[in-house]
Copies of this chain bind each other. A is one copy, B any other.
Amino acid sequence: MNIILEDAVKKSTDVKEKVCEWRSPEELKELLDLELRDEGESESEILQRCRDTIRYSVKTTHPRFFNQLFAGMEPYSLVASVIVEALKPSLYTYEVAPVFTLVENAVLRKMMELIGWEEGGDGIFCAGGSMSNMYALNLARYHHCPDVKEHGLSAAPRLVIFTSEECHYSIAKSAALLGIGTKNVYVVASDERGKMIPSALEELIETAKKEGTIPFFVNATAGTTVLGAFDPLEEIADICEKHNIWLHVDACWGGAALMSDRHKHLLKGIHRANSVAWNPHKMLMVCLQCSAFLVRDKTSLLQDCHSSRASYLFQQDKFYDVSYDTGDKSVQCSRKPDSFKFWLMWKALGKGELKQRVDRAFAMAKYFAEQIKQREGFQLLMEPECTNVCFWYIPPSLRNLQGHPKFWKKLHTVAPAIKERMMKVGSMMVGYQTHKDRVNFFRMVLVSPQVSTEDADFVLDEMHNLGKDL
């Protein structure tokens, strides 16, 4: 326990330590001695395994880890995680997980309040945002044609769904998994900021109808993965209402803005959604995983859609109100009480502090974008709308080539080269990607209140240090 506290908690979050100690897969295999044998190892060997695991793992809680849509260390949430691990609960029934069942209900209720569902709704915590989006798609389908649950799709008409080209890949994955098919995901054009264009959505719906398909689901994204764009929810909701289509909002990333009076306008109209996915493990820093699926329906659609009424778990002759047995709302059987990690943290910090954190992350993104504008050799893709900041670093050798046919081709190789160097030095982690016809650029993600302006400045300094000779 001391090793964990010292190495995995304190050292991992210490800015003077490395974010990662890079080893290639081949080297790391040798270092770790992965083989599982007949004989057990001694206590001291096991302690060494623990130390090595921590040492060679990436420190996602380090103040200079900006590679994913989560970061930082939230101590209250960590304490809650450890309680969960020690208690080994699983959320099938009230009798097996009384506290966590009630906590989940309380947290879901509060999240629905923030969404603006005054009359409440229903929901469940899932194993990540992809699962939450998948639940939305399944629920919408069940709402639209409940027969599919029993009879499957083979006799059903062609069901189609709509999402913007900027959406998370889980929408397509879910469509594949659910037997809808990726070709029946109609991809709506987005504007230059990455927001879905409502008129394009409506045109596509009309087209789909003319093709004889059944449009039943629109996914709007509140905070896209790469650009951090917020789709215009009010206009999309108008269209969905007009065409009687289920509106799901994937707010896994941007949902945190609902905490902030200053930024919640970005999600204006979210209360009109039929369902929402929202991951407090992202900008709110709850320990992984913590993803809520929320649905406005109050007619037990979630239960009806997923239930199978297993008699060994969900007996109806129990001595308490079995409506507290929420396990049959889930596609999972054993399910961890992820809501508790959010609940304890909220209890400790209050909404006031959570709000401030969100505001600080947005302010820090703004600060970072300003620095980029002021520095030579850095170029913003666009002003950030969320806390993702996308930009190119242009090494001195390329600065005079702007406009030259080779410029973009060469720039494309810069981010991967800098990424390799930063991994090997271990000084920070920032992700890169292409986007449509844009060559490789960096996506800086500002989440953690533990990140200072010095850390932000460091990223730009270090990028220049690592890439100036390219």
Contacts and interface: CB of A to CB of B under 8 A. Distances in A.
Copies of this protein in the assembly total: 2
B57 A100 contact: yes
Nearest to A318: B416
Interface string A52-65: 11101111110000
Contacts of A344: 46, 49-50, 53
A414 to B, nearest CB: 11
Interface string A99-132: 1111101110010000000000000000111110
Given A40-B348, A40-B353, A32 B102 contact: yes
Nearest to A114: B36
Interface stretch (A156-164, A200-208, A398-406, A457-465): A156-164
Interface stretch (A66-74, A215-223, A237-245): A66-74
Contact of A319 (B73, B308, B416): B416
Interface string A347-382: 111111100000000000000000000000000000
A175 to B, nearest CB: 8
A184 to B, nearest CB: 5
Contacts of A22: 98
B333 A168 contact: yes
B176 A149 contact: yes
Nearest to A58: B96
A281 B334 contact: yes
A306 interface: yes
A110 B351 contact: no
A85 B81 contact: yes
Interface in A292-323: 306, 308-313, 315, 317-321
A88 B179 contact: no
Question: Across chains A and B, which 7 residue pairs bring their CB atoms closest together, nearest first?
Answer: A179-B179, A152-B181, A40-B350, A127-B127, A8-B86, A34-B106, A153-B153
Given A154-B159, A332-B131, A420 B319 contact: yes
A81 to B, nearest CB: 4
Interface centre among A96, A174, A309 (most CB of B within 10 A): A96
Contact of A106 (B35, B50, B81, B173): B35
Given A23-B98, A154-B153, A333-B130, A83 B352 contact: no
Nearest to A310: B169
| Contact residues on A (Cβ < 8 Å of other chain), bracket | 35 or more
Contact of A4 (B40, B83, B89, B440): B83
B8 A102 contact: no
Most chain B beta carbons < 10 A, residue from A73, A127, A157: A127
Interface in A242-297: 281, 287-289
A127 B110 CA distance: 26
B24 A181 contact: no
Given A25-B321, A319-B420, A61 B88 contact: yes
A289 B334 CA distance: 8
Nearest to A176: B149
Contacts of A351: 36-38
Interface in A401-430: 413, 416, 419-420, 423, 429
Interface in A1-54: 1, 4-5, 8-9, 12, 20, 22-25, 28-29, 32, 34-41, 45-46, 49-50, 52-54
Given A149-B182, A155-B158, A87 B59 contact: yes
A463 to B, nearest CB: 16
Contact of A24 (B12, B41, B320): B320
Given A12-B86, A38-B352, A178-B177, A99 B61 contact: no
B102 A88 contact: no
B423 A95 contact: yes
Given A58-B96, A61-B86, A155-B158, 5 more contacts: A1-B79, A36-B347, A95-B423, A148-B181, A178-B179
A181 B149 contact: yes
A336 interface: yes
Nearest to A86: B8
B352 A172 contact: no
Given A8-B83, A128-B333, A153-B152, A103 B24 contact: no
A450 interface: no
A337 B98 CA distance: 27
Interface centre among A8, A23, A154 (most CB of B within 10 A): A154
